[in-house]
Structures are given as structure tokens and as C-alpha cells.
A and B are shown apart, each in its own frame.
Chain A
Amino acid sequence: MQGAAIKRPVLITIVCILGFTWIVFSFPGVFAPSLKKLGDWYPALFGILVATSFISYIGLWHMKRWGVQLFLISFFVKETLLVLINDVSYAGIFFSAFFICSMLPFYKRMDVNL
């Protein structure tokens, strides 16, 4: 690997493992009939959000700043979408907020490169 790898804090490791687990179980949700009923493009949009979150966790795992940035973008896009379709999950917001709070203290220590 290029350059010296930044040591990953335990909290970030836990966040990433929880995130990867969430991705595995939420991926089949892309095919949920309820999502399909909202419109032709909603499953695709939800799929993009799942893929973006997955990539952001990989960035986070490697202690890259783009991982945090991508996570924040996907979080806000997802919540805006959920507000628009009137399906806001407070538990989802709580977990995402917890994840963001866990990432931000380590943001300055993270690598700026790809």
C-alpha cells in the first residue's frame, strides 16, 4: 500500500462493521414491493444510496476523508428522499447521527488522498 497507513480507531472499526452488516441486509430492500410502488425510479435511487453508503464505509475503513464526506452526502440525500415520501425513520436518523458523531472526532487524522 502507498504511504503509511493510518491506524484505525476501535470506534471506527465498530461503525464500519455495523455499517457493512446493515448494507448486506438492506441491499435486498432495493427490491421491496413497497418501494417499487412509489415509482419506477425509487428502487434505483435507493440502490444508489446503498451503494454509496457501502463505498463510504470502505473509505472510512481505510481512514480516508472522502469516506466521511460520502457518508454525509448519502445521509442527507437519503433523509431528504425519506422526507419527500413521508417515510422518515427516527431510529435510522439516530443510528446515522451516532455514526457521524463517531466519525467526526477522527476526521482531522484521516488521509485526504484517494
Chain B
Amino acid sequence: MVFWSLFKESIVFALQALVSNKLRSILSLLGITIGIFAVIMVFTIVDSLEQNLRKSVQSLGDDVVFIQKWPWEGGGPDYPWWKYLNRPVPDYKELNYVLENCDGAQSAAFMVAGNATVKYKSSSIENVTVICASHQYDRVKNFEIAEGRYFTEIESASGRPVGVIGDVLAKALFPNQSAIGQTIKVRGAKVLVIGVFKKEGESILGGSPDTQVLIPVNYARSLIDINDDNLDPQIMVRAKPGISNDELISELTGLMRSRRRLSPLEEPDFALNQTSIISNVFDDLFNVVGIAGWIIGGFSILVGGFGIANIMFVSVKERTNIIGIQKSLGAKNYFILMQFLFESVFLSVIGGFIGLLIVYLLTLVAGDSAGMAIQLSRSNVILGFTISILIGVVSGFVPAYGASQLDPVEAIRSS
């Protein structure tokens, strides 16, 4: 009981000391505010980018293998691009071969993508991504249709002029009406809109379905050369549940080598890509940014801590005679210690709280303008508050301990 009443009393003393020196308190907590702001802001941005990237990679499919001409990994001056330049591109017949022979594949689709101008009456939108895909595209790629439907098997196989358009396109071309049942023109050819993709927002990897038009590849044959190298034709293969990507890659390697009649000594003339290649590249990048933020923010908080320690030494010096009086009236050492320790912890926590508040407000503002979700996560809030408390304890302990060890007689005599 006595301990708790002393505990409460020391909190009251600490608060009184802070209120009586407002300007000094504000100036000394600024260091912590800036430090916490720097660290938590960097972490928040890195975490948000990472989350958005994972979402984008997930939409590509983390259990999907892409058969393409060019590998995703590599780059730099030593990249042997000449090896890949003369490779053949995957074609539609190879898709059928994969579908017939690949035991580990749950579904597979052929896809090419190009840009085109899309028109509806007098409205036209340039540089729209047109995805030309085979029927199982909806089973390989993760997307949802908000309105209407996907192609039927007959529509895909016979190459009917039907299409699914993105939410942004639908709103731009048909502002006050439903897009379903309307006919748009893609590269001058008529396409009946049968579905609208659910809005997904900007993707960090690009290729958001919001601004895409999806048409059956058998219809696209009449509009574009689906084996054009520049359109990056690819076969996307999704693994069956329980089949790992490595197992699927191994099977696909054998199938593609056999299909392209490659001898055992010949190098493969195709690339089998998977989304983990992208994740790994970005993981490395985020680690570097995270470490930079950690070093800069960590040391700025440390400097903020020195500021609080300095102000606490001044505070102890100023109140030495009061400490002497308190001790001569029977105040215990731990009471004096707690009084000053709470003062520094309060300073630090208020500083940290302001820092977190600034980060939160900035995430609200930046989230709207950046076009992607930037969120102050629970783990970052916990980190911010814990660090504030700890820096308060660490920077306040030495002056507080010094105050608790003062001799009452000498302390009262001090001017």
C-alpha cells in the first residue's frame, strides 16, 4: 500500500515538474519525436510496400509456372541476352501438349498481351492493355468478376468477339450505364462486353486488371499475330494442390524438352519462371531499405535520448534542495529515483506519441495520393511506444539514480 501511494505521488511530482517547465519539456521531447517518426515512417512505408508487393505476386499466382522465352532472373552487364534472343516463343500448340501430358498441372492457359486503343461511340481510351488468353485463364490467374460473367468454353474455342473489361475502363467508357451488353471497339474490331473485373487498385508490379480488356485468344488471332515476339507469348501453368513448384518445373522441363526435341546435351530454349523470383528480388531491396531506416532512426533516437538525459541532469540540479528536503522528511531512495525516472519516461512517451501521430496522419494523406494502402501497423505502434518507454528509462536512469543517492544535508545546502 505504502509503495503504491509513493508510486502515485512520484507520478504527480513528475507531472508537476513537466507542466511547470513547458517549453523545456517540449524542446527536449522533440528529439524523441523526430527519432520515432523517422524509424516508424520508414518501417511503415517498407511494410506497406511489402504487403502490396505480396498482394500483387499473389494475384499472379505463387503456384503458377510461366513458360516464356526470357528468364526473369539475371540482368546486369554479364546477362547473356544473346543466348535467349533466338529462342522460339511458346505457342498455342505447346499449350495443348502441356494440357494433355502434364500430370502435375491443375490448369494451364496461353496468353499474349498488347496495347490497343479502345473505343465506344465518341469515347476512346489509348494504350489499354489487351490480354488475349485461352479458356483456362480464369483458373490460372487470380481475379474476380464484379458484374457479368467470364467466357464460356464455346466462346473461347470458337473465338467469339466477347470481352471482360476492367472497372476503370467500364467507368470511363460507360459513366452512367452498365457496361454489360455494350459493344466496344478494340483495334477497330467489335467486342461485346460480357463482364467487368472487380476493382483491385494499382499493382506494384503493374498490370492491374482495372485497365485491361480480356478477350479469347482465338478471337485475337484475327486482330494480332499471337506469336509476335514483342507481345511476349507465354503459357501459364498452375500446379495441382500438393504439387510443389519445383516438382512442376521438373515435369515441365522434361515435357518442353521432349516437345522441342532437344537432345540431352542441348541447353533448354525456354525459361520456366515463377513469382518467387520477383519476391526474392524485392525482399533483398526491402531488407536494404529496412536496415538503412533502422540505422538512421536508431541513432537519431539515441541522440534524442541524450537530449532527455541532459535535461534530466538539469532538472536534478535545479531541484537538489527539494530532494534534500524530501529525503530529510523521510523520502526513500526509490521514491526519488521513481520521481525522476517517471519524468523522463513521460517526456519520452509523449515525444513518441507525437511521432506516431505524425506518422499516422501522413499515412492518411499519403495513402490517398500514393494510390496504394499505406498503413501504420500494430507491430509498428507497439515498437514505437516500447522504444519511447525504454529510451525514457535508459536516458533518465543515470540522473534519477544520482538524485536518489544525494546526501540530504548537502542537498538542502545547495543553492
A-to-B contact residues, CB < 8 Å: 1-2, 23-24, 27-33, 36, 40-41, 43-44, 47-48, 50-51, 54-55, 58, 62, 113-114
Check if B390 sits within 8 Å of A28, measured CB to CB: no
Also in contact, A31 and B394, with CB within 8 A (given A2-B405, A40-B378, A44-B382) = no
Specify which of B290, B337, B390, B397 lies most central, judged by the most chain A CB atoms within 10 Å of its CB.
B390
The total of Cβ contacts below 8 Å across the A-B interface reads 80
A36 partner residues in chain B, CB cutoff 8 A: 43, 379, 383
Contact of A33 among B291, B337, B407 (CB under 8 A): B291
Q: How far is the CB of B41 from chain A (nearest CB, A)?
A: 12
Q: How far is the CB of A111 from chain B (nearest CB, A)?
A: 10
Nearest B residue to A24 via CB reads B302
Check if A55 sits within 8 Å of B397, measured CB to CB: yes
A54 partner residues in chain B, CB cutoff 8 A: 394, 397
Q: How far is the CB of B384 from chain A (nearest CB, A)?
A: 10
Q: Is B102 an interface position by the 8 A CB rule?
A: no
Binds A, one of B125-133, B181-189, B292-300: B292-300
Q: How many angstroms from the CA of A23 to the CA of B390 in the assembled complex?
A: 13
Check if B386 sits within 8 Å of A47, measured CB to CB: yes
Pairs across A and B, CB under 8 Å, 29 listed: A2-B405, A24-B302, A27-B302, A28-B299, A28-B302, A30-B298, A30-B387, A30-B390, A31-B293, A32-B291, A32-B294, A33-B286, A33-B290, A33-B294, A36-B379, A40-B378, A40-B379, A41-B382, A43-B383, A43-B386, A44-B386, A47-B390, A50-B390, A50-B394, A51-B390, A54-B397, A62-B401, A114-B334, A114-B337
Interface residues on B, range: 20 to 34
Q: How far is the CB of B290 from chain A (nearest CB, A)?
A: 4
Check if A114 sits within 8 Å of B333, measured CB to CB: yes
Check if B393 sits within 8 Å of A51, measured CB to CB: yes
Check if B407 sits within 8 Å of A2, measured CB to CB: yes
Check if A31 sits within 8 Å of B294, measured CB to CB: yes
Nearest A residue to B393 via CB reads A51
Q: Which 3 A-B pairs have the closest CB atoms?
A: A28-B298, A44-B386, A33-B290
Q: Is B404 an interface position by the 8 A CB rule?
A: yes
Check if B407 sits within 8 Å of A28, measured CB to CB: no
**Complex interface bits, B46-64 against A, C-beta within 8 A gives 1, otherwise 0:** 1000000000000000000
5 additional A-B residue pairs with CB within 8 Å, beyond A33-B291, A54-B397, A114-B334: A2-B407, A23-B394, A27-B394, A31-B383, A40-B383
Q: Is B39 an interface position by the 8 A CB rule?
A: yes
Check if B379 sits within 8 Å of A31, measured CB to CB: no
Q: How far is the CB of A81 from chain B (nearest CB, A)?
A: 15
Q: How far is the CB of A2 from chain B (nearest CB, A)?
A: 5
Contact of A51 among B39, B333, B378, B394 (CB under 8 A): B394
